[in-house]
Amino acid sequence: MAEASPPQSVLSVSDISVAFGANPLLKNATIAILEGERIGLVGRNGCGKSTFLKMAAGATSPDSGQINTRRGLLVGYLPQEFELEEELTVHEAVLRGASAVQDLLAEYETAPPESDRSAELLERIEQLDGWNLDSRTKALLSNLNAPPADRIVSSLSGGEKRRVALCRSLLAQPDILILDEPTNHLDTESIRWLEEFLERYRGTCLFVTHDRYFLDRVCNRIVEIHLGGFVSFPGNYTDFLIAQAEREAISEQTEHRRQKFLKSELEWVRRAPGARRTKSQDRVDRYFEAASQGPPERASDADIILPTPRELGNRVISLKDVGAEIDGRVLFSGLTLELEANTRVGIVGRNGCGKTTLLRLLTGETTPLRGTVERGARADINLIDQHRLQIDPNRTIWDEVGEGRDTVRLGEENVTLRGYLRRFLFKEDQLNQIIGQLSGGERSRVLLAKILKRGGNVLILDEPTNDLDLATLRILEEALVRFKGTVVVVSHDRYFLNRVCTHVLAIEGDGSTVFNVGNYDQHLALMAARRQKAAAAPAKNSTKQPATTIAASATPAPAARATRGPKLSYKEERELEGIESAVSLAEETAAEAEAVLNSPDLYKKTPAEISTAQVHANTLRTAVAELYARWDELEKKRLACAVE
């Protein structure tokens, strides 16, 4: 059997350099991208990820160096800042992504049937599945929850336009897909579909995303932009984190040996300056060479500190029988919920189900169509909005965050504005930079810096993870876990929801809502258990129908049953059916957290990670205890109802 030929390069980068003013992004960077690779590009905000994607897609050129692509390479590109023709329908806008395929179809229609060119065109069209453009367009619009095909682009929201642009980039099934934050504005179901699509994709993928589960599931290679160059790691994001930790450990060992050498040699250099003759000069040279190397250069971490909130009262925010509609369509109804102090609630659901509407109800920006929303007297709400409308792109970082002051009050402490902005990784030479010139991630850090300094004991965050780099995300997660107030967050980032949330509220899309204790994975397990119970119930009832009929004829009279306790509601019955599975899953998750906490490897890491692991384990222990208490409460109520 002939050996398979090695994968060929579809795109090669040789010694490219790019700088914005005096700020170098890439310096003599080199990389090759091979057929079939699914590459996740990672790195700090402002390191040049989006800039490199633009160059790889041919939208811009490097200051120096070469980018070469395979001849005839078909590229699909989704930039962060995209343009759609406003007058087109959604269907027409998506089809524009396959203009190259449509050109092939048009040429094939006019080519002589028996010509070599006709055969070439037919082969290429079949390779690109060009005969099924319309059916693929409909499938993409459905699977990515895009707006209806006949909607006009000018009438769409920013999130809807982004989903249309993603459909457009995927339609042609290009040789290489280049996607900048493809999961932004996608709901969880659409993200899972996209993961499966890219796992099956025969072409090459290069993308930037903050979604760590997405990176884990899709990637077979991670490329980090680090200190102006490309560092490649085979495998997925977890493999990258392991390799990165090993690289840092080696770097630390090397630095430890260097410091030990300098310490031992320094005494000799000081003690015997007169002995520096030819035979000793090599030793002196080695000392000064080691001293000149300096410690390994490392990227700084953001230091997000939330001001200490004032204590909340008994009531934070109460919703009673709340309902909301848009254009006559019911978003949710009958929502009764008590937000409590020291809880972190994740709100999930498909796009358009009413998550942002619910946040507006919580803040008082809008009033409910039905029901009531009451906010406690001590509730001080601080909102970070989805569309970043709270920052002015024409102002400087200093003016926007400082708002006329050169100090920031953090709890009982006053810090300088310069010092505060350094915590968000803004250097001195960036402070007077116009916000509109920043990357998406840098703008997100400006927004966080501006809003978080206002304090508040109820933080409401609408898609806070969009555009943040992975390191900043981890710091934000740790800050929210430590926060002593109430947090409400809308997010499609499953890792973020698992790390931060103590409760999950799901808006189901049919007007109903579900509220569960635990993080996102625990919520999914509870929902799966309930669906399994619901599916089994009809079969169970059908097999026991005769016994039910007999029992019914022998039931006591209504007067005799009146002495029973209060009956379980339908919602409580469903909750009781699924609670055993929820307890089992919660115990397994808590055991895993305990194992991590008891692992010696954990204590070799940073103190912040140890603290986070302890908080996570404590949260899970509390969740297990709460589930057992709720189980006992429901079981007692059921027994009281059953006893005359």
Tell which wins on pLDDT, 619 or 231.
Answer: 231
pLDDT of residue 236: 92
Residue 489 above 90 pLDDT?
yes
What is d(CA 531, CA 569) in angstroms, rounded to the nearest whole number?
A: 18
List the one residue out of 396, 392, 408, 387 whose CA is nearest residue 454: 408
pLDDT of residue 545: 39
Arithmetic mean of pLDDT, 423-442: 83
Label residue 234 by pLDDT band (50, 70, 90).
very high
Tell which wins on pLDDT, 120 or 553.
Answer: 120
What is d(CA 14, CA 229) in angstroms, rounded to the nearest whole number?
A: 11
Query: Which CA distances in Å does 608 have to 111, 467, 628, 634?
Result: 66, 23, 30, 39
pLDDT of residue 279: 47
pLDDT of residue 182: 92
Which amino acid, one-letter code, is at 463? Answer: E
Which amino acid, one-letter code, is at 491? Answer: S
- Cβ(454)–Cβ(444) under 8 Å? no
What is d(CA 350, CA 188) in angstroms, rounded to the nearest whole number?
A: 7
Within 13 Å of residue 398, how many CA atoms lie on the same side as its CB? 11
pLDDT of residue 300: 55
CA 344 to chain centre: 17
Q: How many CB atoms lie within 10 A of CB 243?
A: 17
Minimum mean pLDDT among 40-44, 349-353, 482-486: which range? 349-353
What is d(CA 296, CA 300) in angstroms, rounded to the nearest whole number?
A: 12
Arithmetic mean of pLDDT, 625-629: 75
Q: Give 3-state DSSP helix, strand, coil % of the chain, rounded to 5.
A: 50, 20, 30
- Which residues are within 8 A (CB) of 561 and not within 5 positions of it... i.e. 6 or more apart? 555, 644
Q: What percent of the chain has pLDDT over 70?
A: 80
Residue 31 above 50 pLDDT?
yes
What is d(CA 43, CA 231) in angstroms, rounded to the nearest whole number?
A: 10
Query: Which CA distances in Å does 269 have to 255, 422, 436?
Result: 20, 38, 53
DSSP string, 569-583: PHHHHHHHHHHHHHH
Q: Does the CA dihedral 191-193-199-204 come out positive or negative?
A: negative
Sheet (strand 23-34) strand order: 23-34, 9-20, 64-69
pLDDT of residue 615: 64
Q: How many CB atoms lie within 10 A of CB 475?
A: 19
| pLDDT tens, residue by residue, 512-550 | 999 998 889 888 888 877 777 777 665 555 444 332 222
Residue 273 above 90 pLDDT?
no
* Cross-strand partners of 14: 66
pLDDT of residue 547: 29
Residue 604 above 50 pLDDT?
yes
Minimum mean pLDDT among 209-213, 217-221, 481-485, 563-567: which range? 563-567
pLDDT of residue 291: 60
pLDDT of residue 599: 65
pLDDT of residue 550: 25
pLDDT of residue 139: 92
Across the chain, mean pLDDT equals 81
pLDDT of residue 527: 82
pLDDT of residue 559: 34
pLDDT of residue 552: 26
What is d(CA 430, CA 432) in angstroms, rounded to the nearest whole number?
A: 6
Tell which wins on pLDDT, 528 or 163.
Answer: 163
Residue 270 has which token pair? Answer: 């000081």
Label residue 451 by pLDDT band (50, 70, 90).
confident
- Cβ(423)–Cβ(304) under 8 Å? yes
pLDDT of residue 278: 47
What is d(CA 372, CA 551) in angstroms, rounded to the nearest whole number?
A: 43
Residue 23 above 90 pLDDT?
no
| pLDDT tens, residue by residue, 62-73 | 999 999 999 889
Sheet (strand 221-226) strand order: 75-78, 176-180, 204-208, 38-42, 221-226, 229-234
Q: Which helix (H) or strand (E) holds 377?
A: none
- Which residues are within 8 A (CB) of 552 and not within 5 positions of it... i.e. 6 or more apart? none
Residue 490 above 80 pLDDT?
yes
Could you tell me the pTM of the whole model?
0.69
Residue 323 has which token pair? Answer: 């309902």
| pLDDT tens, residue by residue, 175-198 | 999 999 999 888 888 898 999 999
pLDDT of residue 638: 72
- Cβ(446)–Cβ(397) under 8 Å? yes
| pLDDT tens, residue by residue, 565-591 | 456 675 677 677 777 777 777 777 777
Residue with tokens 């989006």: 50
Minimum mean pLDDT among 131-145, 241-255, 400-414, 564-578: which range? 564-578
pLDDT of residue 38: 96
Provide φ and ψ at 372, rounded to 5°: -135, 150
List the one residue out of 25, 159, 190, 187 whose CA is nearest residue 82: 159
Minimum mean pLDDT among 265-279, 327-341, 380-394: which range? 265-279
Provide φ and ψ at 272, rounded to 5°: -130, 55
List the one residue out of 370, 360, 299, 297 whose CA is nearest residue 330: 370
Minimum mean pLDDT among 30-34, 139-143, 286-290: which range? 286-290
Tell which wins on pLDDT, 281 or 82.
Answer: 82
Residue 596 has which token pair? Answer: 């991590």
Tell which wins on pLDDT, 380 or 618.
Answer: 380
Arithmetic mean of pLDDT, 219-224: 95
